[in-house]
Amino acid sequence: MIFNMFMAGRIAFGPGVSSLAGEKASALGGRRALLVTDRTMEKLGTAAKIISYIDAAGLSVVPFYDVEPEPSVETVDTATALAKSEGCDLVVGLGGGSCLDVAKAASVLLTNEGSAARYQGLGLVKNAGVPKIMIPTTAGTGSEVTFTAVLIRKSDGVKGGINGDQLYPDFSLLDPELTVTMPPSVTAATGMDALAHALEAYTSKQASPFSDMFAEEAISRIGRFLRVAVYNGSDIHARSEMMLAALYGGIALANAGVTACHALAYPLGSMFGIGHGQANALLLPYVAQFNAMALPEKFGAAAELLGGSFEEESLWDSASMCSALLHQLVADIALPSTLSELDPRITEDHFAAMAEKAMGVARPMANNPRTMNTDLCIEIYKEAM
Ligand SMILES: [Fe+2]
């Protein structure tokens, strides 16, 4: 048994903890904060609330509201230029994974010269960034505990992460109250992203006893509480359990990586603009079926964690039950279950190009429990059609 483990930064969890934003910003030595968020947070009044907390601690705030759903290198450059001209010395990210990723990237761009495009890759960032605080408003991405910022380059449409230890947040405030305004479709898609992180980390070739512990807790919570969070969004208990599950999924992902599902979902985003959570939700049951026989103990255990009960079934039956339970979950929370339903523009003619792009996402493909190649990717897309 050989493994490394990593826990990022410091975390405060619980209803109302976002009110600590000012206190934490001040403790990190900030005087002028760049708040990186989007128009939804502005409209909901969540941004104004966070600004008031930071104000009250004696810091000034420069808001940036222009983060788009699939954030770009150009957006990071614009936010960084604003922060530089305003003399900001701390960054606060507020929103879903897109806002957090832009905030994390801006924090390191403030101390590393040039465009964000220069740093897409692994370990290219040299200097520590300015201190950063992350306040997620969805329960899914795990961006609050990972060292990645995924950005698309508008110039050539290529999506790539800035990956480096400097991107880990200094503090994350996980406040389930901020997630109650999420509409059901977003709750469903982001919750499935969290489940994909947990199940993929659980079945990754990099899985360890440490990552397994977090993955198991995440899978069982999502099995119990995602439907409730979707259909009874104001249930703060279900929202808290989902936020905890997303955190655990993020820790599992940060330590064990993801597998073929995230890699196969990637071209759906870059070629058709499908949201990250929705793409992963759709593919997860198919990838689970494809992988089940390569790692039956883990998939059988995951099926049990998702609420399946087995007495007489063989190991093989319980392993493939995982996929059936995932299909059931996707249907219950009203997400599309086939590629043709997801987007009628997707046809079999695209599969070769999609498979090629997916195989290019090298690390997740290498982590997959069943050895992958382009033909097998096409097989999974066909199955999902
Ligand atoms: Fe994800």
Judged against a pLDDT cut of 80, whether residue 157 lies above it is answered with: no
Task: Give a yes or no: residue 1 inside a domain.
Answer: no
Q: What is the pLDDT of residues 92-101, one digit of tens each?
A: 999 999 999 9
Which of these ranges, 117-126, 306-315, 373-382, has the smallest mean pLDDT?
Answer: 306-315
Mean pLDDT in the chain? 95
Of 136, 141, 182, 135, nearest to 333 (Cα)? 182
Q: What digits encode the pLDDT tens for the residues 231-258?
A: 999 999 999 999 999 999 999 999 999 9
Ligand 1 centroid – CA 29 distance (Å)? 32
In terms of Cβ atoms closer than 10 Å to its own Cβ (0-12, 13-18, 19+), residue 190 is buried
- Is 190 within 8 Å of 245 (Cβ atoms)? no
Q: CATH number of the domain that 81 lies in?
A: 3.40.50.1970
Q: What is the DSSP letter of 72?
A: B
Residue 1 has pLDDT above 80, yes or no: no
Q: Which domain holds residue 88?
A: 10-179
pLDDT of 2 > 90? The answer is no
Q: What are the CA-CA distances from residue 192 to residues 90, 146, 199 (Å)? A: 32, 18, 10
Same domain, 30 and 90: yes
% of the chain surpassing 90 pLDDT: 90
- CB of 137 closer than 8 Å to CB of 173: no
Q: Which of 88, 98, 87 is nearest to 39 (CA)?
A: 98
C-alpha triplet 218, 221, 222: angle, nearest 5°? 85
Number of domains in the chain: 2
Res. 225: pLDDT tops 80:
yes
| Confidence (pLDDT) at 312 | 77
144 and 250 share a domain?
A: no
Distance 197 CA to ligand 1 centre (A): 6
Q: Ligand 1 mean position to 381 CA, how many Å?
A: 18
Q: State which H helix or E strand residue 301 sits in.
A: helix 296-305
Ligand 1 centroid–CA 238 distance in Å is: 21
pLDDT (0 to 100) of residue 375? 98
Domain boundary among 144, 179, 214: 179
Q: What is the dihedral of CA 20, 89, 166, 100, to 10 degrees?
A: 50
With contact defined as beta carbons under 8 Å apart, do 61 and 29 qualify? no
Average pLDDT over residues 256-261: 97
Task: Compute the distance from residue 311 Cα to the ligand 1 centre, in Å.
Answer: 33
> Mind listing the pLDDT tens digit for each residue in 65-80?
999 988 999 999 999 9
**Residues 276 and 343 occupy one common structural domain:** yes
Question: Are residues 111 and 209 both part of a single domain?
Answer: no
Please indicate, yes or no, whether residues 270 and 173 belong to a single structural domain of this protein: no
> Do both 147 and 218 map to the same domain?
no
pLDDT for 217 equals 98
Q: Which residue has the higher pLDDT, 7 or 138?
A: 138
Span from the CA of 302 to the centroid of ligand 1 (angstroms)? 18
Residues 250 and 273 in one domain: yes
Main-chain phi, psi angles of 183, to 5 degrees: -65, 160
Tallying the residues shown for the chain, one arrives at: 385
Q: Say whether both 276 and 158 belong to one domain.
A: no
User: What pLDDT is recorded for position 31?
Assistant: 97
Q: What is the Å distance from ligand 1's center to 6 Cα?
A: 18
Distance 194 CA to ligand 1 centre (A): 7
Going through 302-374 in order, the beta strands assigned E by DSSP cover none
According to the model, what pLDDT value does residue 285 have? Answer: 98
Q: Which of 164, 40, 159 is nearest to 105 (CA)?
A: 164
Per residue in 25-40, pLDDT (tens digit) is 999 999 999 999 999 9
pLDDT at 156 over 90: no
290-305 confidence digits (pLDDT tens): 999 999 999 999 999 9
Of 146, 179, 212, the last residue of a domain is 179
Whether residue 373 sits in one domain with residue 231:
yes
Average pLDDT over residues 125-149: 96
- pLDDT-derived band of residue 315, with 50, 70 and 90 as boundaries? confident
| Per-residue pLDDT tens over the stretch 190-222 | 999 999 999 999 999 999 999 999 999 999 999
- Which two tokens mark 151? 């950005």
Going by pLDDT thresholds of 50, 70 and 90, the confidence category of residue 226 is very high
Higher per-residue confidence, 9 vs 117:
117
Last residue of a domain, one of 161, 179, 197: 179
